[in-house]
């Protein structure tokens, strides 16, 4: 298909809108060719994941764009960075890393983006609305925006998201268009009792399984008999976007594009039907634990970043207790949620427990963990999935309550009653 | 040079090297060490293999959208594969190659092959890739 650029696109490509817009449009137009797009379309917002610090090339890319005078054309939030500038010295982050990751933060902030520094931009005041065309990076944010909000974004990779933000344009392909938002695989919950569906750990486990089943297809979940909370859907999406490349899911009767099964499939039959039973959920739950035995060195919550409601849920579990001296207890969140938690007294409860907080980044995107941390425990499918490969640690997966009890006991303690 | 496979150049360039065939997709984030070019995803079939300077033959990328950033670092550091062959267009790989071209004039050739042609390549095949997406296989050295 031949790409047709409109007059505004051509002007950017010719440098009429400055050298930064020209570079961004050149990359975007080449990528539109790769995607097979016939045209570009306008967006109303962006979320930049290129903020994640990987190395000097990514920093140089941000600084090149910034030096050319790049400014975002639409309201743009920023994903996690590579460093918590307020607390990196408490951890194992090398000075050189902190300096360069901060340079990259400065470059992206200078483009006029909003310094949210969070992987949960959908839980900020900049949350998009149903039907909005947006360009978002960060897999968990993408799947939440598409599925739970009904906004429309492709899976924008790092380096491209910023080009979309600067030009205000995206290739008109994929999930931006109605016809690609239709369900492909029907996932039926079979005999999954309500008490399991009410449990908070059910959602990351189902998400992990959903990613395995769907790959890069659009799954439609049927058989949920409870109304999950926003945070539960967030945990589900993060799991599905880690074990698979899920950018959109539908849940019949829950998500906005799936009032009925027929609506989710746009009236067509599913390509495939997969039944999910307690057996398959138990297997998925086991996959999230790679450690053997009861050792735990760090309990970490907050991937995606902990929300204020999650802080509120956590506080009564912590109150009146202290973590075991051999186990660190860490919450990763955004700077805004941390501030609100401080103002509402929730942070004090965490600190009295012996817990710590890291903002603007997380344990996967900042080299903060000292080498003596060999096993971490988490309630997050995303942390559990990526930590072994990225950090060389083993993981234990459990509910939030399991995590807190383990931090107190100094060894992995899990309530298995729901899963046996 | 007795076999020619006609591919589609997603990002054009020339390269030669030994094929390293991955039976499964790979996420470069959490799966590829851009300091060494080693495949570090311990769940992956090629875990421990060094893909630097090889012609990486793999179905598609998986998972994280940070794959592009990791591959860009590898291209800059000289630890990237010499070229990547896929059975379909993979936008994440293409993006890293395009940005490397724009930033450093270091394009990484990315070629999409027809699935039947793709399936004929084996680890250790000596391959030469030309600008137009043609892949020459030297059967005498295979």
Q: Where are the domains of chain A?
A: 7-179, 186-287, 298-409
Provide the strand spans (E) within B1-133: 3-6, 8-11, 15-21, 32-33, 38-39, 55-57, 83-86, 110-112, 126-129
| Domains A7-179 and A298-409 fall in the same CATH topology | yes
Amino acid A86: pLDDT: 95
Question: Which residue reads 């300091």 in tokens?
Answer: B35
- How many domains is chain B built from? 1
Q: Alpha-carbon distance A198 to A193, whole Å?
A: 9
Amino acid B142: pLDDT: 45
Q: Alpha-carbon distance B122 to A334, whole Å?
A: 47
- The residue in chain A having the minimum alpha-carbon distance to the alpha carbon of residue B42 is A389
Residues of A in contact with B91 (CB under 8 A): 31, 34-35, 157
Amino acid B63: pLDDT: 64
Residues of A in contact with B70 (CB under 8 A): 54
Residues of B belonging to the active site: 64
Angle, helices A202-214 vs A230-243, to 10°: value is 40
- Cβ of residue A156 closer than 8 Å to a chain B Cβ: yes
Q: Residue A156 and residue B65: Cβ atoms within 8 Å?
A: yes
The domain containing residue B121 runs over which residues? 3-141
Q: Check residue A164 and report its DSSP letter.
A: H
User: In b/e form, how buried is each residue of A40-65, taking b as 16+ CB within 10 angstroms?
Assistant: bbebebbbbbbbbbbbebbbbbbbbb
Amino acid A389: pLDDT: 84
Residues in chain A with pLDDT values less than 50:
none
Amino acid B138: pLDDT: 80
What are A392's two structure tokens?
């060389």
Q: Alpha-carbon distance A208 to A255, whole Å?
A: 18
Amino acid B141: pLDDT: 52
Amino acid B140: pLDDT: 61
Residues of A in contact with B89 (CB under 8 A): 34, 36
In this structure, chain A runs to a length of 420
Q: Is the ipTM of this complex over 0.90?
A: yes
Question: Which residue reads 């290129």 in tokens?
Answer: A50
The secondary structure of A232-287 as a DSSP string is: HHHHHHHHHHHHS-----EETTTSTT-SSHHHHTTTSPPSEEEEE-HHHHHHHHHH
- Cβ of residue B126 closer than 8 Å to a chain A Cβ: no
Q: Is the dihedral of CA B60, B63, B65, B67 positive or negative?
A: negative
CB half-sphere exposure, A338, CA atoms < 13 A? 21
CATH of the domain at B98: 3.50.30.10
| Topology (CATH level 3) of domain A298-409 | Aconitase; domain 3 (3.30.499)
Amino acid B1: pLDDT: 54
Q: Residue A166 phi/psi, 5° resolution?
A: -70, -40
- Cβ of residue B103 closer than 8 Å to a chain A Cβ: yes
pTM confidence score: 0.96
Window 104-123 of B, Cβ < 8 Å to A: 104
CATH class entry, domain A7-179: alpha beta
The 10 Å Cβ neighbour count of residue B74 is: 27
List own/partner pairs for B34-37 with CB under 8 A and 24 or more apart.
B34/A54, B34/A55, B34/B70, B34/B71, B34/B73, B34/B74, B34/B77, B34/B79, B34/B80, B35/B77, B35/B79, B36/B79, B37/B74, B37/B79, B37/B80, B37/B81
Nearest CA among A126, A122, A114 for reference residue A138? A122
Mean pLDDT calculated for residue range B85-104: 94
Amino acid A360: pLDDT: 98
The pLDDT tens digits of the residues spanning A78-89 come to 999 999 999 999
The 10 Å Cβ neighbour count of residue A213 is: 21
The 10 Å Cβ neighbour count of residue B43 is: 12
Is the pLDDT at B61 greater than 80? The verdict is no
Q: Alpha-carbon distance A155 to A143, whole Å?
A: 8
Min distance A125 CA to chain B CA atoms (Å) = 24
| Widest Cα–Cα separation across chain A | 65
């Amino acid at each position: 298909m031949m790409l047709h650029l409109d007059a505004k696109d051509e002007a950017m490509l010719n440098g009429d809108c400055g050298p930064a817009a020209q570079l961004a449009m050149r990359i975007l137009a080449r990528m539109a060719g790769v995607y097979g797009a016939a045209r570009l379309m306008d967006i109303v917002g962006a979320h930049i994941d290129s903020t994640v610090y990987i190395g000097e090339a990514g920093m140089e890319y941000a600084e090149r764009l910034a030096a050319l005078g790049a400014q975002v054309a639409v309201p743009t939030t920023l994903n996690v960075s590579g460093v918590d500038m307020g607390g990196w010295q408490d951890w194992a982050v090398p000075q050189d890393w902190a300096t360069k990751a901060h340079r990259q933060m400065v470059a992206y902030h200078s483009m006029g983006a909003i310094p949210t520094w969070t992987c949960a931009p959908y839980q900020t005041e900049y949350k998009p609305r149903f039907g909005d065309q947006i360009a978002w990076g960060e897999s968990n944010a993408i799947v939440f925006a598409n599925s739970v909000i009904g906004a429309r974004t492709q899976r924008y990779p790092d380096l491209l998201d910023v080009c979309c933000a600067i030009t205000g344009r995206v290739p008109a392909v994929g999930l931006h268009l109605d016809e690609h938002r239709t369900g492909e695989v029907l996932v039926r919950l079979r005999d999954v009792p309500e008490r399991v569906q009410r449990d908070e750990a059910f959602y990351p486990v189902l998400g992990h399984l959903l990613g395995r089943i769907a790959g890069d297809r659009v799954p439609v979940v049927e058989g949920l008999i409870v109304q999950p909370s926003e945070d539960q859907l967030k945990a589900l999406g993060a799991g599905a976007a880690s074990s698979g490349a899920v950018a959109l899911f539908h849940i019949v009767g829950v998500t906005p594009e799936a009032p009925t099964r027929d609506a989710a499939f746009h009236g067509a039959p599913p390509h495939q039907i997969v039944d999910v039973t307690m057996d398959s959920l138990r297997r998925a739950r086991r996959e999230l634990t790679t450690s053997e035995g009861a050792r735990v060195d760090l309990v970490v919550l907050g991937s995606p970043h902990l929300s204020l409601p999650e802080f509120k849920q956590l506080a009564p579990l912590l109150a009146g207790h202290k973590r075991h001296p051999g186990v660190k207890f860490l919450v990763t969140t955004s700077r805004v949620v941390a501030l609100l938690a401080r103002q509402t007294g929730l942070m004090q409860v965490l600190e009295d427990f012996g817990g710590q907080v890291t903002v603007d980044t997380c344990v996967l995107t900042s080299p903060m963990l000292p080498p003596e941390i060999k096993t971490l425990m988490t309630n997050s499918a995303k942390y559990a999935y990526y930590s072994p490969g990225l950090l060389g640690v083993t993981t234990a997966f459990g509910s939030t309550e399991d995590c807190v009890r383990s931090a107190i006991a100094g060894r992995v303690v899990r309530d298995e009653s729901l899963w046996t | 040079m007795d076999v020619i496979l006609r591919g589609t150049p997603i990002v054009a360039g020339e390269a030669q090297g030994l094929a390293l065939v991955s039976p499964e997709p790979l996420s470069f984030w959490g799966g590829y060490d851009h300091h060494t070019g080693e495949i570090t995803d311990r769940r992956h079939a090629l875990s421990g293999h060094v893909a630097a300077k090889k012609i990486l033959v793999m179905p598609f990328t998986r998972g994280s959208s940070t794959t592009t950033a990791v591959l860009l670092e590898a291209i800059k550091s000289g630890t990237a594969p010499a070229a990547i062959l896929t059975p379909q267009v993979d936008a994440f790989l293409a993006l890293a190659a395009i940005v490397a071209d724009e930033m450093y004039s270091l394009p990484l050739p990315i070629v999409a092959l027809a699935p039947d042609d793709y399936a004929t390549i084996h680890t250790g095949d000596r391959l030469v890739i030309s600008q137009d997406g043609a892949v020459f296989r030297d059967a005498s050295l295979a």
